[in-house]
Amino acid sequence: MHRPGYFQLVSSAIVNPSSTGDKTVFQIVEPCTVYEAGFLVTSAIAGTGLGLSFDRRPTAGSDSGRGTADVALVSSTGATQAQGKCVRKDVSVNLNKGDEVVVEVTTASSGGGVFAYLKCIAGGQGALEADDVASV
């Protein structure tokens, strides 16, 4: 039986923040509540700041019904964010199995690199759920 607990999702590659657009996707395979979204600076961010939109996509692989920053909008302002810093936002957003969270750069920096992340509390069931299909 599944025991609810805490877990973290981290982008598998460094997100290039120097251009706007979709950068990475988190697949949600367990119902959960996101309680923190953010990014870890791996190479100093230059310029006037950086904005990442964490968008809920209710059907994996489809932009139909996709929100805009409905999970979080995480922004750094000012000149430079130093390497090793975490920029984070506290949230409380419920996600369902089969959802995706798309990380989009909405405000580009003039350099740097980050890993995007979500911190979650699991809320799944041990039995088959609505979006599950039993294996044969």
E strand or H helix at 9 = strand 6-10
17-61 residue pLDDT tens: 889 999 999 999 888 999 999 999 888 888 778 999 999 999 889
d(CA 26, CA 42): 19
Structural domain 6-122, CATH architecture = Sandwich (2.60)
Q: What is the mean pLDDT of the segment spanning 3-15?
A: 76
CA dihedral sign, ordered 66, 72, 76, 82: negative
Region 101-121: mean pLDDT is 91
State the pLDDT at residue 130. Answer: 61
Do the Cβ atoms of 87 and 39 come closer than 8 Å?
yes
**Of residues 96 and 78, which shows the higher confidence score?**
96
What single DSSP character describes residue 47?
S
Q: Name the residue ranges covered by the structural domains of the chain.
A: 6-122
Mean pLDDT of 76-80: 70
pLDDT more than 90, % of the chain: 46
First to last CA, the chain: 20
- pTM of the complete model: 0.86
Number of Cβ atoms within 10 Å of the Cβ of 96: 15
